[in-house]
């Protein structure tokens, strides 16, 4: 199984340009992922654990937690914009179930930027989609990214890591 690594972001300031598309963040979907999430969030609900329950709800099999896709949006944003970025707001609509076996791909595009104090606010349009490009969950975020000396966790323009633990 190949999944996208989740190391700190390598985004550079030039990648905050409007229209920039970040590399997709990918995850497989199945009981190995969902049971771990159920274990920490006490989310042991039949539709996430039993194919029959998923079918009873109108889907071809068990399907994943929306909350886990939600977590993937956060992980993707930090991967793209750094451990030190601050997610100001995030919203999504869960439009398609992440049915067992679905490969989830989180994609993001910069749609706006503005500077407020020592932070650059980056507006990102995201979507979780399956391997066929069907949208599972559109999303939008505003992320504050430190500028200048305050920046850590992303690569500097010369490619060296800036203050990352």
Partner 1 sequence: MDEATSWITEEMRGLIGRPFNQARSYPVSASDIRKWAIAVYYPDPPPAHYYDEDAAGTGVHGGIVAPEDFNPFAWLSAEPGMAARRGTFDPDWLEHRFGIAGPGLATNLNAGLNTTYGPRIRPGDVISSKSQVVSYAEKQGRMGRMLITVIRTVWINQDGTTVKTVDQTAIRY
Q: Which residues bind partner 1 (CB under 8 A)?
A: 1, 3, 5-8, 32-33, 36-37, 39-43, 45-47, 56-58, 65-68, 70-72, 74-75, 78, 83-84, 86-94, 152-153, 163-165
- Minimum Å gap between C-beta 145 and partner 1 is 12
Return the closest-CA partner of residue 16 out of 84, 111, 88: 111
Q: Specify the residue, 17 or 152, whose C-beta has the smaller distance to partner 1.
A: 152
Q: Rounded to whole angstroms, how far apart are CA atoms 116 and 143?
A: 12
Q: Which is nearer to partner 1, 12 or 44 (CB)?
A: 44
The answer to whether 123 and 28 are in contact (CB under 8 A) is no
Tally of CB atoms within 10 A around 2: 7
Min separation Cβ 40 and partner 1, Å:
4
d(CA 16, CA 80) in angstroms, rounded, equals: 10
Nearer to partner 1, 7 or 135 (CB): 7
């Amino acid at each position: 199984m190949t999944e996208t690594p989740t190391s700190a972001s390598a985004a550079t300031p030039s990648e905050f340009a409007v229209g920039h598309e970040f590399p997709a963040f990918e995850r497989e979907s199945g009981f190995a992922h969902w049971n771990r999430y159920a274990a920490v969030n006490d989310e042991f609900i039949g539709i996430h654990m039993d194919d029959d329950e998923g079918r009873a709800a109108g889907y071809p099999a068990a399907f994943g937690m929306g909350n886990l896709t939600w977590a993937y949006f956060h992980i993707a944003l930090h991967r793209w914009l750094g451990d030190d970025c601050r997610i100001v707001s995030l919203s999504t609509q869960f439009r398609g179930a992440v049915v067992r076996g679905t490969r989830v791909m989180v994609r993001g595009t910069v749609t706006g930027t503005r500077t407020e104090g020592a932070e650059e606010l980056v507006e990102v349009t995201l979507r979780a989609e399956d391997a066929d490009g069907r949208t599972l969950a559109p999303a939008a975020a505003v992320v504050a990214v430190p500028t200048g000396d305050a920046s850590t966790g992303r690569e500097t323009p010369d490619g060296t890591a800036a203050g990352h633990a």
